[in-house]
């Protein structure tokens, strides 16, 4: 049954803590990246402030006039005056933006008392002779002191444009400085954003590399039982797809969530710093967004999961039917396969449309709510501005901040589904890492050197599953350098003996010894260097011929050629397009079955084990090729202890001894002639296999 894509219900802190363990080796890159992200976000949040200051302090700079005559100290304290405020002719001139926090009732009271003017004024410094000349020329419009002069903002239009430009020269210089600062902030944000993206990419790739390596090492140390229980496709998916979703988590999702949350929190704080009144009004427009987000999160999760399920089903169907297209065509089931694919493909289309429907509904809704918030800000901002409760720059900053606030809403919604997928991917990865079914490599001893190659099975009992015994009290001895064959009906336990001798499985009772040393006390690496099998189904990698013989070992080219010549493989190798450098196809389909078997002989001979196991090594070889392989086998077994497992009894006639198994027990042993003369199980096997051959007797 196909394993469906799993999407967990929500955020899992425990799982995230385990994922963060893989961040530890890359923590400084991650810390610097997060710091750069936060600073870049702060830079983004400062941009509306820069615009507000530019507008209020330079672009539409204006002052209100405060009369000190008749004003009590409490009145002046409420206006928060300081020594930097400008005094001209018994009046104090304060920048309008400084009074936005004064309540409306207080402003109205002070205005009615004649303390606070209703008019707006423009103030210039008199440190420039040209400005002094303009003020003197329009003396009737200005009120002046030794250092400053003021004019009603409404009277500025009475001054010639060139003179007006000269009066505003400090404002123009200020705008230039703010523009330069604005540019510096943008460059800094760009640089920090690049740093953050680059470092998080490095971190994500490093985590993926470490996690893939951890998974691969973990799987390579598991027992055959574990590998048989878990399909190859599942393991490959864990190491590739699931690890990639975790990379998305670290490289994109978490960084975006941190940035978006920091931006939204920063926007709310900035709104209340600029104006508590307008900030409160803006905050009241946000509850519909929270409701819409909560609804979308549920619907998006369902839609996302549905898409992943059907993508998985369609991929599985394609993989099976494209791989088995020969069977489909042979049994004329193309129409049925096409109809089934059409059904699955239509379901996938509907799932995708369902996800698009959710997104198509939510995006315009967020845009609508954003525009409603902006409309509310413009309405109340204009009202507050007309009453002097906010400045024009603050209204503009609020519009920019609301846009900044709504941008992350959609991003967070989209990242949430990816976060769930990444959590599910991490859960599946750790499920594999938590499954431990290893052959215990606890051996601290060593076999006497040099290894002679004596093998002893002493009352060995083994079962693949509890209660289903495969090997029953099996005992036999193979002398050093002896060639012993093992035969029997299918299921007798022949291949199991090979697996037990190499500790691919561990026995339940008894002992297996090599040169008197129990193999469980020997490190696995030493054991499997001493004992090496040649299997019926030879596996060759998509590498060069020489690399398939080396398997990573440091053998010279001369040694590779020598062992190839000894096992009769050099001739066909040199006829390949690139000789020993020819790359084998996946599954080695560009060479024959017999040639693959010869390469496996060369591989074993190059690694020079003391004990070899030939498990059905000639089961799939035609008679003509078998003669060539028989010569190679004789060369390979020369001077080594050899255990030969075969159905084709012609390959073992010259074995020193033949062990006959039945239901996991040793029922006969002896030479070929002795067993034929005994007329027991071996005789029946031999007669059944060769009864049609002339002279088989």
pLDDT score recorded for residue 616: 62
Q: What is the pLDDT of residues 382-428, one digit of tens each?
A: 888 777 778 788 888 888 888 888 888 767 766 776 776 677 777 77
Give the domain-ending residue among 380, 400, 434: 434
Residue 466: CB atoms within 10 Å: 7
Give the residue with greater pLDDT, 112 vs 682: 682
User: Do 414 and 505 fall within a single domain?
Assistant: no
| Residue 1: pLDDT over 60 | no
Q: Averaged over 231-235, what is the pLDDT? A: 64
In a domain, 464, yes or no: yes
What is the H or E stretch that residue 451 is in? Answer: none
Structure tokens that stand for 693 in this block: 């051959």
State which residues form the domain around 385: 207-434
Q: Domain holding 568: CATH number?
A: 3.40.50.300
How far, CA to CA in Å, does 161 sit from each of 60, 167, 170, 313, 322?
Answer: 16, 10, 15, 74, 80
Over 90: is that where the pLDDT of 248 sits?
no
Contact present, 151 and 122 (Cβ < 8 Å): yes
* Together in a domain, 256 and 372: yes
398 and 459 co-located in one domain: no
43 token code pair: 């830079």
Q: Are 395 and 377 in contact (CB under 8 A)?
A: yes
Per-residue confidence at 317, pLDDT binned at 50, 70, 90? confident
Percentage of the chain lying above the pLDDT 90 cut: 6
More confident: 680 or 238: 680
Mean pLDDT over 378-382 rounds to 86
Over range 242-254, report the average pLDDT.
Answer: 76
pTM above 0.85, yes or no: no
On the CB side of 334, CA atoms within 13 Å amount to 5
| pLDDT at site 332 | 78
153: tokens are 């903002």
pLDDT at 178: 92
**Closest by alpha carbon to 252, among 378, 479, 63, 416?**
416
Q: What is the arithmetic mean of pLDDT over 320-333?
A: 77
- 490 and 360 housed in the same domain: no
Q: Residues 622-637: what's their mean pLDDT?
A: 68
Give a yes or no: residue 36 inside a domain. Answer: no
Structure tokens at 357: 């429907």
Residue finishing a domain among 375, 401, 434: 434
Q: Are residues 674 and 614 in the same domain?
A: yes
Note the pLDDT tens digit of each residue in 559-605. Answer: 888 888 888 888 888 888 888 888 888 777 788 877 888 888 888 88
For residues 446 and 157, the model is more confident at: 157
Structure confidence at residue 692 (pLDDT):
45
pLDDT at 191: 94
Model pLDDT, residue 458: 92
User: Which of the given ranges, 171-180, 299-308, 404-413, has the highest pLDDT on average?
Assistant: 171-180
Q: What DSSP letter does each residue of 454-473 carry, written as one string? A: -EEEEEEEEEEETTEEEEEE
Query: Greater confidence, 664 or 363?
Result: 664
Cα–Cα dist 594/592, whole Å: 5
Both 564 and 614 in one domain: the answer is yes
Query: Between the CA atoms of 516, 520, 526 and 527, what dihedral angle is there, to the nearest 10 degrees?
Result: 70
Q: Is the pLDDT of residue 183 over 90?
A: yes
At residue 63 the predicted structure's pLDDT band, cuts being 50, 70 and 90, is confident
Mean pLDDT lowest among 77-91, 201-215, 531-545, 647-661:
77-91
The enclosing domain of 214 has a CATH number of: 1.20.1560.10
Percent of the chain's residues with pLDDT above 70: 86
Q: Specify the pLDDT at position 180.
A: 95
Q: Which of 388, 405, 434 is the last residue of a domain?
A: 434
One domain, residues 503 and 366? no
Question: What pLDDT does residue 437 have?
Answer: 66
Q: Is 408 among the domain residues?
A: yes
Is 386 or 670 the better-scoring residue by pLDDT? 670
Count of structural domains within the chain: 2
Query: Is residue 382 domain-shared with residue 233, that is, in the same domain?
Result: yes
Are 294 and 287 a contacting pair, CB within 8 Å? no
User: Residue 96 falls within a domain, yes or no?
Assistant: no
Mean pLDDT of the chain: 81
355 and 401, same structural domain?
A: yes
Residue 33 within any structural domain of the chain? no
Same structural domain, 358 and 459: no
Q: Of all helices (H) and strands (E), which one includes residue 634?
A: helix 623-637
The top-scoring range by mean pLDDT among 58-67, 213-222, 684-693 is 58-67
6-15, 352-361, 433-442, 685-694: lowest mean pLDDT where?
A: 6-15
Are 566 and 428 found together in one domain?
A: no
State the Cα–Cα distance between residues 607 and 599, nearest whole angstrom: 13
Least confident of 73-87, 460-474, 587-601: 73-87
By CB atoms closer than 10 A (0-12, 13-18, 19+), residue 617 is buried
Domain assignment present for 131: no
Q: Is residue 245 part of a domain?
A: yes
**Are 682 and 578 contained in the same domain?**
yes
Q: Mind spelling out the 3-state secondary structure of 351-378?
A: HHHHHHHHHHHHHHHHHHHHHHHHHHHH
Measured between alpha carbons, how far is 450 from 530 in angstroms, rounded to an integer? Answer: 11
Q: What is the pLDDT of residue 185?
A: 93
For residues 532-546, give the mean pLDDT: 80
Residue-level pLDDT at 286: 80
Instruction: Establish if 505 belongs to a structural domain.
Output: yes
Q: What is the mean pLDDT of residues 330-339?
A: 82
Residue 459: predicted pLDDT: 92
How far apart are alpha carbons 543 and 584 in whole angstroms?
6
Residue 696 has a pLDDT of 42
Reported as a pLDDT band with limits 50, 70 and 90, residue 433 is: confident
């Amino acid at each position: 049954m196909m394993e469906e894509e799993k999407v967990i219900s929500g955020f899992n802190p425990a799982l995230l803590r385990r994922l963060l363990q893989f961040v530890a080796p890359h923590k400084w890159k991650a810390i610097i990246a997060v710091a750069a992200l936060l600073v870049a976000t702060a830079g983004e949040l400062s941009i509306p402030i820069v615009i507000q200051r530019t507008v209020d302090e330079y672009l539409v700079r204006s002052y209100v006039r405060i009369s000190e005559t008749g004003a009590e100290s409490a009145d002046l304290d409420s206006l928060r005056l300081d020594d930097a405020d400008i005094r001209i002719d018994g009046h104090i001139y304060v920048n309008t933006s400084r009074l936005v926090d004064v309540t409306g009732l207080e402003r109205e009271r002070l205005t009615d008392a004649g303390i606070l003017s209703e008019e707006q004024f423009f103030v210039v410094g008199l440190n420039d002779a040209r400005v002094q000349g303009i003020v003197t020329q329009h003396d009737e419009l200005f009120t002046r002191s030794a250092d400053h002069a003021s004019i009603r903002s409404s009277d500025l239009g009475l001054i010639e444009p060139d003179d007006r430009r000269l009066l505003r020269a400090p404002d123009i210089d200020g705008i230039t400085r703010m523009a330069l600062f604005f540019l510096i902030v943008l460059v800094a944000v760009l640089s920090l954003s690049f740093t953050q993206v680059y470092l998080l990419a490095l971190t994500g790739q490093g985590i993926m590399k470490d996690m893939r390596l951890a998974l691969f090492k973990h799987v390579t140390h598991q027992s055959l039982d574990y590998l048989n229980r878990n399909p190859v496709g599942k393991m490959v998916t864990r190491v590739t797809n699931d690890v990639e979703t975790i990379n998305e988590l670290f490289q994109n999702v978490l960084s975006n969530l941190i940035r978006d949350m920091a931006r939204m929190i920063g926007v709310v704080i900035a709104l209340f710093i600029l104006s508590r009144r307008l900030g409160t009004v803006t905050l009241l427009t946000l509850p519909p967004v929270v409701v819409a987000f909560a609804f979308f999160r549920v619907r998006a999760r369902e839609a996302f999961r549905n898409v992943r399920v059907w993508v998985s089903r369609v991929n599985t169907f394609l993989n099976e039917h494209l791989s088995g297209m020969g069977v489909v065509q042979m049994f004329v089931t193309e129409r049925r396969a096409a109809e089934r694919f059409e059904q699955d493909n239509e379901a996938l289309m509907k799932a995708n449309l369902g996800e698009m429907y959710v997104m198509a509904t939510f995006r315009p809704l967020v845009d609508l709510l954003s525009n409603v918030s902006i409309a509310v800000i413009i309405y109340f901002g204009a009202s507050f501005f007309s009453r002097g409760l906010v400045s024009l720059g603050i209204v503009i900053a609020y519009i920019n901040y609301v846009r900044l606030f709504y941008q992350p809403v959609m991003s967070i919604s989209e990242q949430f589904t990816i976060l769930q997928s990444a959590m599910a991917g991490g859960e599946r990865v750790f499920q594999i890492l938590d499954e431990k079914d290893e052959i215990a490599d606890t051996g601290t001893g060593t076999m006497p050197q040099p290894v002679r190659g004596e093998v002893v099975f002493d009352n060995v009992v083994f079962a693949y599953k509890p209660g289903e015994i495969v090997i029953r009290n099996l005992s036999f001895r193979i002398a050093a350098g002896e060639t012993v064959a093992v035969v029997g009906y299918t299921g007798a336990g022949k291949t199991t003996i090979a697996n037990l001798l190499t500790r691919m499985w561990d026995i339940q009772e008894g002992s297996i010894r090599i040169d008197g040393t129990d193999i469980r006390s020997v490190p696995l690496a030493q054991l499997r260097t001493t004992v090496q099998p040649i299997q019926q189904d030879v596996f060759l990698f998509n590498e060069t011929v020489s690399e398939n013989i080396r398997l990573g070992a440091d053998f010279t080219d001369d040694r590779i050629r020598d062992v190839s010549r000894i096992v009769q493989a050099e001739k066909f190798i040199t006829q390949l397009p690139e000789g020993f450098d020819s790359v084998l196809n996946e599954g080695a389909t560009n060479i024959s079955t017999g040639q693959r078997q010869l390469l496996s002989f060369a591989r074993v001979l190059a690694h020079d084990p003391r004990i070899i196991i030939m498990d059905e090594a000639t089961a799939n070889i035609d008679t003509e090729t078998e003669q060539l392989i028989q010569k190679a086998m004789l060369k390979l077994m020369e001077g080594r202890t050899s255990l030969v497992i075969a159905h084709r009894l012609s390959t073992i006639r010259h074995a020193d001894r033949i062990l006959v198994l039945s239901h996991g027990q040793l029922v006969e042993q002896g030479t070929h002639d002795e067993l034929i003369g005994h007329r027991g199980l071996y005789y029946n096997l031999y007669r059944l296999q060769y009864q049609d051959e002339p002279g088989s007797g």
